[in-house]
Amino acid sequence: MNTIDPSAAIGTSVLASDPDWWRGAVIYQIYPRSYQDTNGDGIGDLPGIIQRLPHVASLGVDAIWVSPFFTSPMLDYGYDVSDYRDVDPMFGTLADFDELIATAHDLGVRVIIDLVLSHTSDQHPWFKESRTNSNNPKSDWYVWADAKPDGTPPTNWLSIFGGPGWEWDGGRMQYYMHNFLTEQPDLNFHNRDVQDALLDVARFWLERGVDGFRLDTVNFYVHDPELRDNPPLSNTEISDAIAPRVNPYNFQSHLYDKSRPENVDFLERLRLVMDDFDSITSVGEVGEDQRGLEIQAEYTEGSDRLHMCYGFDFLSKPFPTGERVAEILERFQRIAANSWACWAFSNHDVVRHTSRWSLSDEAHRAYMALLLSLRGSICLYQGEELGLQEADVSFEDLQDPYGIRFWPSFKGRDGCRTPMAWDADAAHGGFSEGKPWLPVAEVHTAQAVDAQHANPTSMLNFYRAMIAYRKTQSALIKGSFAVIEADETFIAFKRELGDSTVLCAFNLSDEPRDMTLPDGNWQIDETAPFNVSGTDTNPVLPPWQALFAELT
């Protein structure tokens, strides 16, 4: 079912053509398995997303990012693709996907899909052929290497899911590389035919009307052809931003198994394909501890690579004090002056930030206002708008192979992937009429969409108000950024675009904060969704409050 019906209105859109729409866009991530189930099997599906698109549109976001829905054995829940050009039956059909595109566009929402290009499932036809022998047409489509004389793997490379990054194949009598599960063999990007096949995949979805791609593990595409060992890190260099601290993956400097300079060639080829279509964007996920911002800058430099990238600066454990936020933003501007950032606090791979940083509702609101004021585009993860905490998933209910591997020191990613709660009084929070693939957290049902929708002071309505306010200020969307003051519990910065200058200040503490506005004729914006006392020159920010002022 891979053909496109030429009579269908695929690729059409009521959205205005705007090649620059992605700059400053707010993008809402949907994890399909956990959004809405419509057939009672306990697994969310594409018709469920379609059903809930009015909720998404009510937030005021510019686009959705839909995590993988391709045909897959689901060992890594869709990130192990066995057919890039079809929808897994558990999620629906290609016709459902076409309806999703059309419905989203009718609601003024663009659609970005998650492309997993660094690896496939071992059930993909390409790998099945590749592993048969060493001289078939696809024998070099994956990363194969001989064992060392003693039979051990060719390098010391490790899998991010634990253990060696190589798996022995008795058919070919060689090892194949895998950065993740052993069932996720890595494609060989040094083979031009592999690149061409993946570019054809991108064209297939662009022709169906997608508005862009989120590129999974974009810095993992290319490996060192010389198969050199990674050097160790010193104890002071080790961090757990990318992998949990119990994972030995953190012990290496990953110079040779990822983030290779040859990657840029493929990104430039991919950009050429995207530029053949109207108003397309791309956002790459850069998983890198030591050189994350530098790689983001390299991958987005100029206009012939990716449009934007995001790293784990705000997806990791360290608390985002005012000083830390200022340091990250100013460092990005130094390193990537000609690039555009994409920022996120939560996604499907990390503990929800409400729990990760132990935020109260008031603190959550302050930090969300801060996120929506940063220079760059913004990714929100489903359930953020409800203020959801990380769910506590018992070992018996655990599905994530990553969590099962490192339990109990690391509980995996299931806690952020539990189903959305739509109806506080319905079974399973209105997510499904059947038993959900992961249990709906009881604490989440009280935060369900219907319980918050009509409450003007709810977290949901705060998100709507803050996103709407952002859209009234062009400087917040595409303006420049300059820090005025930052300390442990406070940050103030300016955003400027043309004749518009907006001052943004955030009290990140439980105590009131006196402040003095910079020189100039500043007018505190009382339409912003926060309360501020004092005067226009010496305002007082209550605990966990923000101030927005315009230079008149």
Q: Decide if 62 contacts 27 (C-beta within 8 A).
A: yes
Residues 466/469/470/474 CA torsion (nearest 10 deg): 180
Q: Cα–chain-centroid distance for residue 197?
A: 24
With vertex at residue 479, the alpha carbon angle to CA 478 and CA 485, rounded to the nearest 5 degrees, is 135
- Measure Cα distances from 395 to 356, 399, 404, 411, 414 in Å: 20, 9, 8, 8, 10
| Residue 59: partners with Cβ closer than 8 Å, 6 or more residues away | 26, 28, 380, 385, 463, 464, 467
How far apart are alpha carbons 552 and 537 in whole angstroms?
Answer: 13
How many Cβ atoms from other residues are within 10 Å of residue 424's Cβ? Answer: 16
Q: Decide if 309 contacts 301 (C-beta within 8 A).
A: no
| Residue 82: partners with Cβ closer than 8 Å, 6 or more residues away | 70, 71, 72, 73, 120, 121, 123, 124, 125
How far apart are alpha carbons 552 and 549 in whole angstroms?
Answer: 9
| Of 264, 376, 248, nearest in space to 311 by CA | 376
Structure tokens at 122: 């071992």
Sheet holding 174-177, edge to edge: 144-145, 174-177, 166-169
| Of 51, 34, 128, nearest in space to 90 by CA | 34
How far apart are alpha carbons 437 and 419 in whole angstroms?
Answer: 8
Residue with tokens 């420049």: 480
- H or E segment to which residue 297 belongs: helix 292-300
Structure tokens at 260: 């290779």
How far apart are alpha carbons 76 and 122 in whole angstroms?
Answer: 12
Active site residues: 216, 285
How many Cβ atoms from other residues are within 10 Å of residue 475's Cβ? Answer: 24
How far apart are alpha carbons 184 and 179 in whole angstroms?
Answer: 8
Please name the amino acid found at residue 427: A
Q: Is 197 exposed, middle or buried (0-12, 13-18, 19+ CB in 10 A)?
A: middle
Structure tokens at 390: 């990380």
| Of 297, 382, 387, nearest in space to 341 by CA | 297
Q: Given phi > 0 = left and psi -120 to 50 = alpha, else beta, which region is 42?
A: left
